[in-house]
Amino acid sequence: MVVLVIFVLAVIYVLSSIRIVRQWEEMVLFTLGRFTGVRRAGLTVVWRFIQRGLIIDKRVTTTEFRTEGTLSKDKVPVTLLAVLFWKVQDVTKAALEVQNYRATIDLAAQTTLRDVVSRSDLEQLLSDQRKIDEQIASSIRERAQSWGVEVQNVEIRDIEIPSSLQDVLSRKAQAQAEKEARRIYGEAEVVAAEEFLKAAQVYETSPIAFRLRGLNVLLEAVKSDRNTLLFIPTEVTDMLRSVGPLLQPPSSSPKTDVTGPSSAAVPTDMPPI
């Protein structure tokens, strides 16, 4: 009877000592308080009252951290929210070198973020966010290497500044955009003037080209479906009279129009008036 009880207790003890380590975890094993090894994924035995296993997740973890009203280099209060992507690379260091690696990473990220904000101007924080991300990640990475933690990336999610300063920055951006638009408009005017100068040189050497261009402008004006009233100057009518003979095909023999016994022959190729 005693043997049976001892056997049952032994079975219960062995079964209660069986632990399962999942695929994304590793177990740091301590025997009588001393580090004795690392157990990978699968079934493992941790003898109760003698050994203790600390399971550490090795998946990528995200940590949000922020600064509240930290003064930038140009004395502007900035509230910045960022996200840190990290994972445990060496479970032995994470268990032995630091008491609580999660809390330590969180505090290190916050202090690093405050330090970077205090050494940067507001203009840098707004325009060079990728560079700020790299600075924060590099600083945290140097600290976390001794804890067995690999810092992969840092991304700034939001930057909050006083509303009065937001209005100033908005007006500044609007003025900058207007300045750029005026510069582009000026460059376009210069290009157009150069092209007009080239066209003027061509028209100066070829009067026919100038007249045809005038006809083209007139055609574009009357092509619209709407009823259009045009006031044509006398110069244009003179131009039409001069271009008319050039556009008509030559006739083989002149035709006459006799309106009476005393009428004279009028050439039909005379330009209309």
All domains of the chain, ordered by start, with CATH?
A: 11-57 (no CATH), 61-166 (3.30.479.30), 187-221+231-240 (no CATH)
Beta strands 149-160 and 18-21, pairing class: unpaired
- Whether residue 74 is predicted with pLDDT greater than 90 in this model: the reply is no
- Whether residue 45 is predicted with pLDDT greater than 70 in this model: the reply is yes
Q: Could you give the percent of the chain with pLDDT greater than 70? A: 77
Q: What is the pTM of this model?
A: 0.59
Q: What is the C-alpha to C-alpha distance for residues 17 and 31, in angstroms, rounded to an integer?
A: 13
Cβ 161 vs Cβ 71: under 8 Å: no
Q: How far is CA 255 from CA 118, 134, 266, 269, 271, in A?
A: 97, 91, 8, 9, 15
Q: Which pLDDT value is given to residue 221? A: 67
pLDDT grade for 38, boundaries at 50, 70 and 90 = very high
